Amino acid sequence: EDQVTQSPEALRLQEGESSSLNCSYTVSGLRGLFWYRQDPGKGPEFLFTLYSAGEEKEKERLKATLTKKESFLHITAPKPEDSATYLCAVQASVDNYGQNFVFGPGTRLSVLP
Amino acid sequence: GAVVSQHPSRVICKSGTSVKIECRSLDFQATTMFWYRQFPKQSLMLMATSNEGSKATYEQGVEKDKFLINHASLTLSTLTVTSAHPEDSSFYICSARGGLGGDYQPQHFGDGTRLSIL
C-alpha cells in the first residue's frame, strides 16, 4: 500500500532560521512527488513537482529535493509569511486509474518575527 | 495560470437540505477533477475522481447516493450533498488536472467550501 509520512508534525522557527521538512514515501513506482502549501481555510497551493531521484526545484526561499525514499523541503531564511501547512503528495505509476494522489499529513510551520 | 474556482466558499443550512458545490477550471481544460474532504488539522481525504463525460469513481466508504458528482464539461464539476446532516459538516475541496502532460500534471485546488449543517 502506498504511504506518505511527514515530519515533523509541527515546527516553530524564528525569522531567518533555516530548516528542512521531510516527506518519506513508500510507493509502487513513483510517477511524481508534489509539494503544496495550505493556509488556514484555503485550498492547497501548488509549489513543486519532482519526478526522479536527484531532481531539485527552487522557488524563492524554498528548495525541494528528491531521493528514492524521501523528499526534503528546505526553507532558507524564512519569513513570517512562510507560516502555513506544507503538504507532500505522491502519485504512483501503478494503480487502478493512474490518477490518485496520496497525501501526507502535513507539517505545520510557524515562523515567528 | 492553472486557476481553479470553487463556489460557494461557505454554506450554512438546515438538516435535510441538499447543497450543490461548483468547481471550475478557469484557464485550462480539466480532464480530471477530484473532490476531497478535510477535517480540522488533518490532511485531505479523497472522496471521488471524475473524468469529463464519465461517471465518477468513488473511494471506499463514500456513499454515491449521498455525494452526487457531475462532470459535464471540461471546465465544470459539481458535488451535491443530498439530504445533508450535521455529520456531513466539513471542509470540501475540489481540484482539477489537465493540459499538456496529462497525468503527469499536478492537481490545482480550489479554495474549498466550508459546509455547516445545523
**What integer pLDDT is reported at residue A94 of this predicted model?**
57
* One-letter amino acid for residue A65 of the chain: T
Q: What is each CA distance from A107 to A11, A29, A64, in whole angstroms?
A: 7, 24, 14
- Is residue B61 within 8 Å of B115, Cβ to Cβ? no
Q: What is the DSSP letter of B88?
A: G
What chain A residue is nearest to B2 in terms of C-alpha separation?
Answer: A46
Residue B18 CB neighbour total at 10 angstroms: 11
What digits encode the pLDDT tens for the residues A28-80?
A: 888 899 999 999 999 999 999 999 999 999 999 999 999 999 999 999 999 99
Of the partner residues B43, B94, B95, the one whose CB lies closest to the CB of residue A105: B43
Q: Which of A100, A107, A108 would you mutate first to test chain B, the one with the most B CBs within 10 A?
A: A100
- Would you call B101 exposed, middle or buried from its count of C-beta atoms within 10 A (0-12, 13-18, 19+)? exposed
Q: Which residues contact A39 (CB under 8 A, 6 or more apart)?
A: A45, A84, A85
- Find chain B residues with C-beta within 8 A of A99's C-beta: 32, 34, 49, 97, 103
Q: Do B42 and A36 touch (CB under 8 A)?
A: no
**What integer pLDDT is reported at residue A40 of this predicted model?**
92
* Nearest CA-CA partner of B109 in A96, A97, A41: A41
Matching residue, cell 462532470: B71
**What integer pLDDT is reported at residue B101 of this predicted model?**
62
Banded pLDDT at B103 (limits 50, 70, 90): low
- SS3 letters for B34-50? EEEEECCCCCEEEEEEE
Q: Which of A1, A25, A46 would you mutate first to test chain B, the one with the most B CBs within 10 A?
A: A46
Q: What is the DSSP letter of B82?
A: T
Banded pLDDT at B40 (limits 50, 70, 90): confident
Among B residues 87-116, those touching chain A with beta carbons less than 8 Å apart: 91, 93-95, 97, 103-104, 106-112, 114
Banded pLDDT at A97 (limits 50, 70, 90): low
- Tally the residues of chain A: 113
